Amino acid sequence: MLNVVTKDLGWIEVIVGSMFSGKTEELIRRLRRAQIANQKIAIFKPKIDTRYSKGHIVSHNAQRIPSVAVSNASEILDLAGEAKVVAIDEGQFFSAEIIDVCEKLATEGRRVIVAGLDQDYKGKPFEPMPQIMAIAESVTKTLAICVVCGNPANKTQRIVVDSQRVVIGENDIYEARCRNCYEDPPNAA
């Protein structure tokens, strides 16, 4: 007879894509399913993201679920409590510390779901998301629809001139574009 050691198995899931690709919508879908399964959840987002609500993560199609806004990733460890599922939206807005936070939570036996942009407006990897994808057990890449031609889009086109890497905004500042319709920003050098 085999000795079976049962242990809570934790893991990391990542949802990435361009803006307007349904990342937050997919995150909310997974969290609703966890709620149906009576799993305790904790949801976090960076304080910098105040586009729709300070106390919710909100998709572009207005789906919402309550969340806690945090200033830095280490707060997540303190606030996750007994949650079996820990969700983090807009992961690209956290420092590299988020990588260790995700690892620690998963090692504790929790399901960790992180959603965020995999590329910035210049089409470059948006740290720390590539590093989180590298340690994740599961990665889902979502695609938007190119506003120019209607093909699948995996780029975020900034339509205003601003050289800052992080500019919080909506469709007044960004558009989803495919590889062919994406244009390098004038300040991309």
CA proximity to 168, closest of 65, 75, 55, 46: 46
Q: What single DSSP character describes residue 10?
A: P
CA proximity to 16, closest of 171, 132, 152: 132
Query: What are the beta bridge partners of residue 57?
Result: 65
Query: What are the beta bridge partners of residue 58?
Result: 64
90 is catalytic: yes
**Inter-residue contact 155 to 176 (CB < 8 Å):** yes
**Inter-residue contact 112 to 10 (CB < 8 Å):** yes
Residue partners of 53: CB distance under 8 A and separation at least 6: 64
Find the Cα–Cα–Cα–Cα dihedral 47, 51, 54, 57, rounded to 10°: -90
**Inter-residue contact 176 to 156 (CB < 8 Å):** yes
Q: Are strands 41-46 and 85-88 parallel, antiparallel or unpaired?
A: parallel
User: One of 13, 90, 108, 127 is an active-site residue; which one?
Assistant: 90
Could you list the active site residues? 90
